[in-house]
Structure 1
Amino acid sequence: MTRSVPAEGMGLEGVIAVPKGGVVDLDLLLESVVEGVLVTGTASTVVEGECSRCLEPLSAEVEVELTELYAYPDSTTDETTEEDEVSRLHDDLVDLEPVVNDAIVLSLPQVPLCSPDCQGLCVDCGGKLAELGPDHGHETIDPRWAALHERFAGNRDNPEEN
């Protein structure tokens, strides 16, 4: 069974998620087994977000493998497991949404990066460190010496006044 289903908002909103109008492509095999229906296959989608270091937009394709047993009512599996331990058939239907959602969300990075070696932003000026170069820096003055720096900063050109 191959299907494309809407998946808008699936993911971690504000971090990385399936964009508005996005879909999940399912390629699944449903097999009847003694205890129920075994669903195996893959789910894939495109997610968008922003790099957590440099805030650049990013996009990635996510593909997860699925294996889930949906137990028949009154089967041994249904009788010997807790309600949340195994999925169940309801009126001969399988609900794939929670399984697909959980698999995709768990495969997403908690800290998405545009590249593994992303350097992020300069904490002083906010510029992207990769574009600023290795010699980029800012003069910092110890706050304990700030008053002296202010007092003598204007007299650098004329040291005789000091």
Structure 2
Amino acid sequence: MHVDVKELKGHPGAQQTLSTTVEAPAGLGTVLVGIAEGSELHLDLRAESVHEGVLLTGTASAEVTGQCGRCLDPISYPLTVDVMQLYSWEPQEASSPEEDDEETRHVTEGLHIDVEPALRDLMVSALPFQPVCRADCPGLCSQCGFRMEEDPGHAHEQLDPRWAALAGLADQLNESDEDGAAASS
């Protein structure tokens, strides 16, 4: 996704708008949710020539699809992010490692700007770390995978493994008491 900015070079204050729909590139997502590769990505952008380079502002919108992190049901919702990125005309040589800004983007030699890395950073960071189908989703039982929504009272008896030997001893004592009681009758 490249934007041609030849008309803006040397004309501070000049601007151009870009309103288009493109195919989403691969890798716009996390493990559970993301923007499907090839789906529609709507861009409403304005490129403005400034002294330092080109200021790209606007919005990017797409449909997010994936799975709920609790119950694994499919989820889908719209996502819109605000874009504001400065692309410098020429790479600046950093005088020290502290001044080297990894986030500085540059206009290419052919006077194009590549918006994909900026969109990737913005859109992926806007995705939820633990997506849910709804805020009160009860999820699945951690023991058997049963859908908790179908029976909210579903539970398993859990014995502390540290007491398992004592529980086995209690069972043996109960059996010997029952055998003694049956023999005396």
Measured in 1, the distance between the counterparts of 2:171 and 2:67 equals 40
CA 1:140 to 1:83, structure 2 compared with 1: closer, same or farther past 3 Å? closer
How far does the alpha carbon of each residue in 1:79-121 deviate from its partner, in whole angstroms, 9 at most, with x for none? 5663634211112111101000110011111111111111111
Shift of 1:141: 5.1
RMSD of aligned alpha carbons = 2.8
CA 1:136 to 1:161, structure 2 compared with 1: closer, same or farther past 3 Å? farther
Shift of 1:138: 2.9
Measured in 1, the distance between the counterparts of 2:69 and 2:171 equals 37
Measured in 1, the distance between the counterparts of 2:139 and 2:173 equals 36
Aligned: 1:87 with 2:105: yes
SS at match of 2:149: helix
- Matching residue of 1:17: 34
Tell me the matched-pair count. Answer: 152
Alignment equivalent of 2:130, drawn from 107, 111, 117: 111
Aligned: 1:43 with 2:64: no
Measured in 1, the distance between the counterparts of 2:182 and 2:158 equals 25
CA 1:136 to 1:26, structure 2 compared with 1: closer, same or farther past 3 Å? same
CA 1:3 to 1:123, structure 2 compared with 1: closer, same or farther past 3 Å? same
- Matching residue of 1:54: 71
SS at match of 1:98: helix
- Which runs of no fewer than 5 residues in structure 1 stay unpaired? 154-159
Aligned: 1:97 with 2:134: no
Residue identity matched to 1:138: H
Measured in 2, the distance between the counterparts of 1:141 and 1:55 equals 28
SS at match of 2:113: coil
CA 1:88 to 1:136, structure 2 compared with 1: closer, same or farther past 3 Å? same
Identical positions, percent? 36
Shift of 1:73: 2.5
Q: 8 Å contact 2:28–2:37 — kept in the other structure?
A: no
- Which runs of no fewer than 5 residues in structure 2 stay unpaired? 1-17, 176-180
With the length of structure 2 as denominator, give the TM-score of the two structures: 0.70
With the length of structure 1 as denominator, give the TM-score of the two structures: 0.78
